[in-house]
Amino acid sequence: MTEFISKRLPNIKNDVLSGITVALALVPEAVAFAFVAGVDPLVGLYAAFMVGLINEIAGEGGMAWNARLLMFHAGIEAQGQGAAANPMYAQYQYDADTISVSREKIESLLVYLAVHIKAQSAKESHFLVGDQLTAADVYWAYFSNMLEALPPQHCPMPGGLRDIWGVLAKSISGYDPVLIEQRDRILTQHLALPLDF
């Protein structure tokens, strides 16, 4: 089974159909669990949406996963095929032939997030889900550093690591500044800066 999964090429149509299928099953379940828990059914819907959004940001096949693939690709372009000896290339199933798919997935998510953030703002909410801080906001605040790292005074990291994280922004066609504005708002109003790790 693992061999089948590792050889499976990404397919956006199948991914969308899978997402719709899961959503159709998840929505009634989320509402039912909300009733069982004695909370507003809207909380269940928010939770279902939030988990899916977090998966698209940080899960396998999500933005962070695909950003790492773009970083690996940049490593091969800079250092040659010898860079692929790093075991992470195999762990992430790096395949130069699927880099364009990785780029498309990231760009699609970023467009979706920008539209969603603007829609939330029109509802006078600066959160990704609902009207209060959720795990989705926290995940985006931290994982968006792969898109545009915080300045050194807020996110101290070695220069080489900062350069590697800069690969994502250089590998895509661009992104809406609202993505970073939302990240910065969450970090300054709800989380702590500078980052300490």
pLDDT at 121: 96
Domain for residue 97, yes or no? Answer: yes
Total domains in the fold of the chain:
1
Domain for residue 181, yes or no? Answer: yes
How many angstroms separate the CA atoms of 27 and 38, rounded? 17
pLDDT at 3: 45
Domain for residue 14, yes or no? Answer: yes
Structural domain span for residue 37: 10-190
pLDDT at 49: 79
Domain for residue 111, yes or no? Answer: yes
What tokens does 153 get?
């005074």
pLDDT tens track for 166-178:
899 999 999 999 9
Domain for residue 37, yes or no? Answer: yes
Helix axes 41-58, 12-37, angle to 10 degrees: 150
Give the three-state DSSP class for 192. Answer: coil
Q: Are 56 and 63 in contact (CB under 8 A)?
A: yes
Split the chain (197 residues) into runs of 10 and give each run's mean pLDDT: 46 75 77 82 79 90 93 92 92 91 94 95 94 93 93 90 89 95 96 84
pLDDT at 24: 76
Burial of residue 98, with CB atoms counted within 10 A of its CB: 0-12 exposed, 13-18 middle, 19 or more buried: middle
How many angstroms separate the CA atoms of 133 and 128, rounded? 8
CB within 8 A of 47, min separation 6: which ones? 30, 34
Domain for residue 34, yes or no? Answer: yes
pLDDT at 9: 54
Q: Are 116 and 124 in contact (CB under 8 A)?
A: no
Domain for residue 2, yes or no? Answer: no
pLDDT at 1: 36
Q: Considering the entire predicted model, what is its pTM?
A: 0.81
Domain for residue 28, yes or no? Answer: yes
Cα dihedral 76, 82, 87, 90 in deg (nearest 10) = 60
